[in-house]
Homo-oligomer: A and B are copies of this chain.
Amino acid sequence: MKKGCPFGTHRVIEPKGVLPQPATKIENDMEIYDNEILINVKTLNIDSASFTQIKEEAQGDVEKIKEIMTNIVATRGKHQNPVTGSGGMLIGTVEKIGPALEGKTNLKVGDKLATLVSLSLTPLRIDKIKEVRKDIDQVDIEGKAILFESGIYAVMPTDIPENLALSVLDVAGAPAQTAKLVKPGDKVVVIGGGGKSGLLCLYEAKKRAGITGKVICIGHSQKSVDRVNQANLADVCFSADATNAVEIMNKVREVTNGEMADVVINCVNIPNTEMASILAAKDDGLIYFFSMATSFTKAALGAEGVGRDTTMIIGNGYTKGHAEIALQIMRESETLRKIYEELYA
């Protein structure tokens, strides 16, 4: 049996020397290397940006969607949309585990799992597309996939419905990072707190900041603000334009009695909210950018431009135990589970 690299570089066909994600073509032969896991795939959960593009290209025609998806995998060996560059995740069952992983993984053959690494780097073979669920970006297939040694995954819980679990796992990094960053007594601002990841961040922030802390939610629509208030997910919640830095600063100053935030978590998926995040934080505060719309240079030059010594962290979608932390919220909070079931499952 062939020995593999933990990151899967052994499957990169071109260009040579890069990792599987930036590669344009990877090997999707399903004979496993010694440190790989073979998965019998049930469902692909295509990244929203990618699936929107595919649907448009297919003009909504299901047979055409199937053709485009099959072509992507045939060309690249993985489901990485050539236009958006993005992938998605998959659900399946473990079919084979490479011998080099013995004692290193707690997975066993037959386990049902969701991969938490992107489809844009996962070797995939599609034998048949069985069903396209256009409105929730999910596609049932017959096929196989490979999980690399460094690839992260979550064993599917038995007490949480599959669609609900998938929605939670999709944003699992955010609440887990919040749990690590927020300390008792902290004043925490969650920008975009009414959204999919923001709601989970609010819950963790309140739990960690405790009764001596204060959790402030800034939402976009009045509807999302009302939802947060009714569910009692924040100590204060208001609606504001996150691109208006001065307005956000003044409102945060008001509700913190001039102290400003110890931790700012940015979950809002629109550009130009870096400055609002910086001005909402204390001078020695911490800002966690989970938004993929964050501009590195706008954040870096923005803080310097106003002489702020804030620590600004690039949101890492992975942290140890993130899947468990996020799923646990659905068990702990009936209110949040209901909101999630209504909006995202």
Contacts and interface: CB of A to CB of B under 8 A. Distances in A.
Given A19-B246, A246-B17, A303 B318 contact: yes
B313 A311 contact: yes
Size bin of chain A's contact surface: 35 or more
Contact of A305 (B121, B275, B312, B313): B121
Interface stretch (A97-105, A137-145, A228-236, A289-297): A289-297
A299 interface: yes
A294 B307 CA distance: 21
A7 B310 CA distance: 16
B304 A316 contact: yes
Contacts of A151: 307
Interface in A198-247: 244-247
A300 interface: yes
A7 B314 contact: no
Given A17-B246, A21-B305, A118-B305, A300 B314 contact: yes
A47 to B, nearest CB: 11
A81 to B, nearest CB: 14
Given A295-B296, A306-B7, A309-B318, A118 B21 contact: no
A4 interface: no
Contacts of A297: 292
Interface string A302-343: 111111111111111111100000000000000000000000
A279 B318 CA distance: 15
Given A311-B313, A313-B313, A318-B309, A302 B9 contact: no
In the complex, the 7 A-B pairs of residues with the closest C-beta atoms, listed nearest first: A304-B317, A312-B314, A152-B307, A304-B318, A296-B296, A150-B306, A303-B316
